[in-house]
Structure formats: structure tokens, C-alpha cells
């Protein structure tokens, strides 16, 4: 499970590594937590391969925590949906999932650009926040899904989620999370697969769900701080 990541800090990295422009206006949050507004990259719904004026990718702002299009608009349903932990989507059985299944079947896939993501290391008996980055210094592209929900009288709400998979056999991520918890890893896409992932139909999308090699990630413990902001 990933509940904390860093968005891209360098504006030029959107174009350099993902071939998109940063959304306008720029996102307000770089240190991302569930339900914050962040950036995701998708294939525009109106993409026409014969029209050079329409880009093959676009970066948009959305809520980190997917809200499905078929959510009922009554206050009780909305309140419950907004409180659910939908920032991660388990890849196992995703096509049958009420929240994520429709987006998966309709090919509403996205890439979440990140400079880093965080997981807790419990091997000392206490949670040590650990920052994961790419060994080559580039940002990572995390596979996700997006959706749009419309509440009567309000603007459409774009939202997204990150895909996760089992990491029990992963050489690095198997060491993180609580000992009794299932080990999970976000699905990180090789840069060469960005277009393939965004364009693949649902029946071919599982081909892109692979564990990212441990040697391509760097894990760095993050020093804890006191309430006064001093390093401990």
C-alpha cells in the first residue's frame, strides 16, 4: 500500500520524462497524501491518431482517491465514498471490483508521475519512514486508473488511484509494512511502456502488470523529527 508520494518538483520533468506539460494551474501539493489534489497523465478521450493537433497524452489535476462515475449523488452515499480508502487499487480481481472495475474495463488507465514514494520499515519494531526513488535518478511512472463523477449542479470531479500488487517475493519491498500485513508494491512502469499501457485494451492490460526490479529502486530511511522540527 502506498499512501504517500512526492509529485514532480521540477516543472521541466513533465515534458522531459512524460512528454506532457504540467497542468494549469499547477498543483498545490507536492507532498501527496490520500484525498489531496495531484497530477495524473492519461490518453485524452478525444485522441485521434490522424490529428496531430490532439496530443497523445495529457496531464490533469484530480483527487487522489478514485470516485467511480456511477456513485449515487445522495448525501449519505457521497459521504461514504469520500471517506473510503480508494487511493490504491489491488490488481487482483480488479475487473470485478465495484469501484475500480468499470474504469479498468473502459480502459481509463493513467500514469501517476512521482519523484518518490514512501513505505514504512518495521524491522526494528518501530515504523521507519522510507523513501523509494529510482536508481537512475529519474522520476517513476506508477500505473493507475482514473474516473470522472458528476454531482448535479457541480463541476465534474476527476479522480485517480494507483495500482498495487503482491510483493511477498519482491527482493526489496518484501521487507516493508508491518510483519503481519501483506506486502504490496505499486505497479511501476518502465518508461518504454508508457504509451503501451495507456493505449492497451482491457484484455491486454494485465500484460503490463509486472514487479519493478529491486535493483532499480533505492530505499532511503527518512530521519524522524520532533514536534519542534528537530531531527531525532
> Which CATH number does the domain 5-115+139-211 belong to among 3.10.20.30, 3.90.1680.10, 3.30.830.10, 3.30.930.10?
3.90.1680.10
pLDDT of residue 224: 58
Report d(CA 100, CA 146) in Å as an integer: 9
Q: Give per-10-residue mean pLDDT for the chain (232 aa).
A: 91 96 76 95 76 82 92 77 89 95 96 97 91 97 95 88 96 90 95 97 95 96 57 38
Report d(CA 69, CA 81) in Å as an integer: 11
Domain boundaries, the chain: 5-115+139-211
Provide the whole-model pTM. 0.90
pLDDT of residue 206: 96
pLDDT of residue 232: 36
Amino acid at each position: 500500500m502506498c499512501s504517500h508520494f512526492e509529485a514532480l518538483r521540477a516543472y521541466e520533468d513533465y515534458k522531459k520524462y512524460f512528454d506532457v506539460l504540467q497542468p494549469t494551474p499547477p498543483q498545490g501539493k507536492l507532498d501527496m497524501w490520500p484525498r489531496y489534489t495531484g497530477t495524473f497523465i492519461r490518453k485524452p478521450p478525444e485522441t485521434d491518431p490522424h490529428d496531430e493537433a490532439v496530443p497523445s497524452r495529457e496531464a490533469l489535476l484530480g483527487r487522489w482517491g478514485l470516485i467511480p462515475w456511477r456513485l449515487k449523488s445522495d448525501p449519505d452515499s457521497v459521504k461514504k465514498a469520500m471517506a473510503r480508502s480508494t487511493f490504491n487499487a489491488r490488481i487482483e480481481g480488479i475487473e470485478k471490483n465495484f469501484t475500480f472495475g468499470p474504469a479498468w474495463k473502459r480502459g481509463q488507465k493513467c500514469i501517476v508521475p512521482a519523484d518518490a514514494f514512501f513505505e514504512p520499515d518495521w524491522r526494528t519494531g518501530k515504523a521507519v519512514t522510507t523513501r523509494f526513488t529510482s536508481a537512475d535518478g529519474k522520476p517513476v511512472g506508477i500505473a493507475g486508473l482514473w474516473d470522472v463523477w458528476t454531482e448535479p449542479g457541480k463541476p465534474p470531479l476527476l479522480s485517480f488511484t494507483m495500482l498495487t500488487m503482491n510483493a511477498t517475493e519482491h527482493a526489496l519491498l518484501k521487507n516493508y509494512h508491518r510483519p503481519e500485513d501483506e506486502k504490496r508494491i505499486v505497479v511501476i512502469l518502465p518508461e518504454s511502456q508508457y504509451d503501451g499501457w495507456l493505449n492497451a485494451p482491457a484484455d491486454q492490460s494485465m500484460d503490463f502488470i509486472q514487479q519493478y526490479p529491486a535493483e532499480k529502486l533505492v530505499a532511503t530511511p527518512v530521519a524522524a523529527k520532533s514536534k519542534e522540527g528537530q531531527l531525532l
